[in-house]
Amino acid sequence: MTMDTAEAQRAFRNALGAFATGVTIATTSDAEGRPVGVTASSFNSVSLDPPLVLWSLAKNSLSRDAFTAAGHFAIHVLTAAQEDLSNRFARSGDDKFADVAWHCGELGSPLLDQFVARFECRTRHEYEGGDHIILVGEVVSYEARDEAPLLFHGGRYAERRPRPTATPTPTVDTEHGRFGDDFLFYLISRAHFQTSRPTRETLAAHGLGMAQYLALATLSMEAPLTALELAERLAHTGHLPDAAALEEMASSGLLTQDGDGYDLAETGRTRLIETLAIGKAAEAELATHFTAAEIAETKRVLRRIIELSGGDIPMGWRDGAAAA
């Protein structure tokens, strides 16, 4: 087969593009210790024992000398949310590492903080491969995370859509009263417990518990309320601020008290807004690990679950007003 026309080359490239791959960033350091990296989809596994991987680097790459001289490299399998980073590392010569979180690995290659899988490798072989060099590395350490990978197919980025498994695995062992970690209700509860941790920690740092927080949130929507009315509004949460807790909040300046009625004091409102901001910031950080499509789909599924499991919804949860 000849590749003597641009058209023939394009057709060959298109045929190769039929093979769907992940996307990686390969990194190393140059003679001055500066970080170097390129986007590479040619990564693949070679051997389990010894653990070997390979990828190929274009001979005209500006990073070629660094990769061949260093004797080590790191491979980062990118997450679905790292398309911009992939594009950045695919542009020759740019300051690719600006604003990218990384640290130096044990062999000297820069290790990026975000990835689905990361392999630190000592270069074992270099093979001639036409207009590329084939680098084979022995993996000295690796780390993998349960995140959606970025894919590349037909010259475009793509996202994984797993096929449903033919036989769903049983999630609840009724005989022993146990459930597996793919039991949806377990996942929803645990995700809530873990994602609300920054909020709980912020409150604890101010000497407040969930009951006090919910009192602040409820009073921000409806005030004044008596201790009894607050208890009614919060009964479903299992977090009830008792009379002593409310008086304590009033005396520490979080609430105002007029007769039996409690209302938010300015300090209480500030504390509530600060706590909500911590939750928002945690959500924004979490979102960096997912694509916009994944977030939208997760919200859609959760809204549908809420709709289907509806029934008698306590006031605090309505219209997204819930504070926890």
Ligand X SMILES: Cc1cc2nc3c(=O)[nH]c(=O)nc-3n(C[C@H](O)[C@H](O)[C@H](O)COP(=O)(O)O)c2cc1C
- Sites of contact with ligand X (CB under 6 A): 23, 38-42, 55-58, 61-63, 86, 89-93, 152
Give 94 or 297: the residue with its C-beta nearer to ligand X: 94
Q: How far is the CB of 26 from ligand X (least distance, A)?
A: 8
For 279, the 3-state DSSP assignment is: helix
Closest distance of CB 187 from ligand X, Å: 32
Question: Nearer to ligand X by C-beta: 130 or 168?
Answer: 130
CB 36 within 8 A of CB 66: yes
Of 57 and 216, nearer to ligand X (C-beta) is 57
CB of 269 to ligand X, least distance (A): 49
* Cβ at position 4, least distance to ligand X in Å: 22
Residue with tokens 């970025």: 150
Query: Which is closer to ligand X, CB of 157 or CB of 179?
Result: 157
Q: What is the arrangement of strands in the sheet containing 150-153, beginning at the earlier edge strand? A: 21-22, 150-153, 156-159
Coil, strand or helix: which one is 161? coil
Least distance to ligand X, CB of residue 61, Å: 4
**CB-wise, 84 or 175, nearer to ligand X?**
84
Amino acid at 188: I
Distance, in Å, from the CA atom of 128 to the CA atom of 3, rounded to the nearest integer, reads: 19
CB-based contacts of 275, cutoff 8 Å, min separation 6 = 199, 202, 203, 213
Q: What is the largest CA-CA distance in the chain?
A: 92
